[in-house]
Amino acid sequence: MHTKFKSITALILSLLIVFSLATCAKTPSEVPTDTSPTPTEPVPALGDFISAYSDAVDAEWAYNLAVEIIESGEYADNRLGDRQSGSDAEHRTAAKIAEVMASIGLTDVTPDPVTVDRIQAGNSGLTLDGSDREIILHAYQTNGTPTGGLTGEIIDVGTGTAAEYEGLDVTGKVVLIDINQRANWWIGEPVIQAIEKGAAGLIACSVAGFSEISDDAYNANDFCGPATIPTASITRNDAAYLRANMTDGVAIGTFVVDNEYSKDGTSYNVRGTIKGRDSSEAIIFGAHYDAYYESFQDDTIAWTGMLAIAKAMSDSGYVPERDIIFVAHGAEEWGESNTNYDWALGSYRQITETRAEWQGKIVAFINFELPAYEFASYTYTHSAPESYGLVERYTNSEYAAKPVGVYPDGILTDGYQTYTYSDDFSYYVSGVPSFINGFLIDVENDGDVYDFYYKYYHTNFDTKDTYNAAVLEWQLKFYGGLGIFIDNTPAVELDFGYQAERLRDSLNAEIATLYADGGAAYLAAIEKYTTAADALTAKIDDINARYLAAATADERAEIMTEGKALNRTTLAIFKSTQDVLLAVSAETPIVPHEWYQSNIELIRETVAYLEAGDVQSAVDETAWQINGIAEWYAMFFDEATVAHIRGAYAGEFAPLNWAQGKTFTLADVQAATRLITAAYDETNGDFSTAIAIYNAALIEQVGWYAAILVRETEAINALADEMTF
């Protein structure tokens, strides 16, 4: 509007107002007196929100959508059912998810593109000479064979270790191996060894550890190695048939891996939103939609369940305080070759690249995996340590759904740190408080995985036959309720006192006494940090308690604003904490000094065994665990293979993704590992050379240990200062 016109208009409006007041004015005696109280807007009850949401939950809707996905054939690229990173089937599924999101009332439905390695997997197989029977294979994420396949010798090389190749010429040939990917090694290690020996392709039979449900089960896991040679999985029954048709461990046949592999593919993270009153903060629900085979539990029923949460919130009329965003992530199972950290790429690139602005804004990420299977007699929630108190408070509250007909031993609330095997870790390392249903680790059984993973996981037997409707219904009610519970909390409930416990418990007193003055400065910093954490928790609790006690909506709105102002600080502290105090050993989350601390302990014990002449205990008990079990591979594979394995660990060939900056230089003990492995059957041997190597490495590790404790101490003190305001 033109400035002059605005001024004239303002003048006219002023005159009209004055005229109106003059003509309507009354004397004081004429002004009516209203002594009734001013009406106040009622304060909505959290319990009513969650109750209405729970009543709207429709587990059958999620189940029917999942069945449609896996049975229609439209959302798979091959006869075994795959929809993998960047594939056509993944793209078709993304379009379907966007369509469903819009149909249930989500707004801002958007497919966010992320760059990944693309694997388009067709129908792979093997035909033996003289037979018209096709052996169906399941391909890993590697290059395919030439048109028409590879025709020639298929050679049995046992478990595919370096020793198994002695006396064999496999150049240009296909090799068959047995593998236990739980007890021994992932598929990438023997593939690298086969490449070093000149093999043109590899067929792997899972003999144990996975796919134990049936001899007709395939196994597929993410492929950390190079995509150089075509690689595929064979069932135990078909492997037995293949071996029965071998002469002296050799068969002739045609091996076809119908893969298209390429860099710079595109996956999509599909998101939709229930808009909140205030979009300055948000809560995210997530699940992944890429898949091996039908993958009913992992993760089809999870992302359809996530959408069922969205539908129930919408159907119940819930109007959130914050935006609630629902994200179906692609490329979770795998997304990049030749790196040790090849999974959860869709989510990692979503939070660090495509939607990096979400950092500092997302108050919770609630992830869903395998939510319709009763793994044990109990269940639990993984989270960041700082969220342990929130999980316990919600679980034990009147608002949390209680299991009915499932989990007879209830819900554990001791606190279980978020692991690396799912999308929530990508958000966690990026400073987002993250949660996930307890789908993996049997925390009541020495931390082993649940039996499901030995039998069904990543096999063609992960079908709708595994469905438990009562489990899914409870999961939807419990975790959807958790989202509403968090949404109705002004100040993000982050209790850094639990982080202090993690830091304190991580220190090995014996190692610290020997090499770091007992960790006195480190422990003192933790005490300072604990004091500051307690004070910050008191502020958070005060805001949240006043919010619940508020009598009017206006009062609550004011307190909500106060809480959100504090959140900017607490979320920044949370991210800084993960930046400096969260690392990984192999795939296990650790405090950074634990890497060197563990190496020191293991090297000392290995030397003690060797000095006592007990080389077998050194090999079996301790030496293989050094360097986060990296020395295990040096016991079975040649130096060129191990060099490649370590290069992938160090990020020489591809990015480390969510593990970037959270891994460590390996202790230089590989030569000693090889010496004592070769001397395994010796009695009263001379192990002085190996001992010297270990002792030299020990000195170096002690130096790194002392230095990193100093850095951690400085970081903990700085974080305590950030909390003090």
Please give the pLDDT value at position 15. Answer: 30
Q: How far is Cα of residue 237 from the mean position of the Cα atoms in its chain?
A: 33
Which sign, positive or negative, has the C-alpha torsion 683, 686, 689, 692?
Answer: positive
* CB-based contact 322:487 (threshold 8 Å): yes
Question: What is the CB-side half-sphere exposure of residue 185 using CA atoms within 13 A?
Answer: 28
Strands 278-288 and 322-329: parallel
Q: Which residues pair with 268 in a beta bridge?
A: 113
Domain 124-257 in the same topology as domain 47-117+263-487? no
* Rounded average pLDDT over 105-128: 98
pLDDT band at 43 (very low <50, low <70, confident <90, very high): confident
Please give the pLDDT value at position 13. Answer: 32
Helix (H, G, I), strand (E, B) or coil at 174: strand
Please give the pLDDT value at position 59. Answer: 98
* Rounded average pLDDT over 107-134: 97
Which sign, positive or negative, has the C-alpha torsion 239, 240, 244, 249?
Answer: positive
Distance, CA of 87 to CA of 93 (rounded, Å)? 10
Please give the pLDDT value at position 41. Answer: 60
User: What are the phi and psi torsion angles at 125 (to 5°)?
Assistant: -170, 180
Helix (H, G, I), strand (E, B) or coil at 569: helix
pLDDT of 4 over the 50 cut: no
Which helix (H) or strand (E) segment holds residue 368: the answer is none
pLDDT over 90, % of the chain: 92
pLDDT in tens, 661-670: 999 999 999 9
pLDDT band at 27 (very low <50, low <70, confident <90, very high): very low
pLDDT band at 21 (very low <50, low <70, confident <90, very high): very low
Q: What is the mean pLDDT of the chain?
A: 94
Task: Please report which residue ranges of 612-650 form alpha helices under DSSP H.
Answer: 615-617, 631-634, 639-650
pLDDT of 10 over the 50 cut: no
Domain boundaries, the chain: 47-117+263-487, 124-257, 497-725
pLDDT of 12 over the 70 cut: no
Amino acid at 71: E
In the numeric block, which tokens belong to residue 456?
A: 């069904």
pLDDT band at 7 (very low <50, low <70, confident <90, very high): very low
pLDDT over 70, % of the chain: 94
Distance, CA of 458 to CA of 297 (rounded, Å)? 10
pLDDT band at 9 (very low <50, low <70, confident <90, very high): very low
Please give the pLDDT value at position 40. Answer: 54
What's 47-117+263-487's CATH class?
alpha beta
pLDDT of 422 over the 60 cut: yes
DSSP state of 450: P
Report the candidate in 118, 175, 162, 171 with the shortest Cα–Cα distance to residue 142. 118
Helix (H, G, I), strand (E, B) or coil at 287: strand
Please give the pLDDT value at position 311. Answer: 98
Question: What is the CB-side half-sphere exposure of residue 182 using CA atoms within 13 A?
Answer: 17
pLDDT of 38 over the 60 cut: no
Locate tokens 């020990």: which residue?
Answer: 698
pLDDT of 1 over the 80 cut: no
* Rounded average pLDDT over 164-182: 98
Helix (H, G, I), strand (E, B) or coil at 315: helix
Please give the pLDDT value at position 34. Answer: 46
Please give the pLDDT value at position 24. Answer: 38
Lowest-confidence region among 38-47, 392-401, 636-645: 38-47
pLDDT in tens, 57-86: 999 999 999 999 999 999 999 999 999 999
Report the candidate in 389, 381, 337, 367 with the shortest Cα–Cα distance to residue 118. 337
* CB-based contact 497:531 (threshold 8 Å): no
N-to-C CA span, the chain: 46
Q: How far is Cα of residue 649 from the mean position of the Cα atoms in its chain?
A: 18
Topology of the domain covering 124-257: Glucose Oxidase; domain 1 (3.50.30)
Locate tokens 């209203």: which residue?
Answer: 34
Helix (H, G, I), strand (E, B) or coil at 24: helix
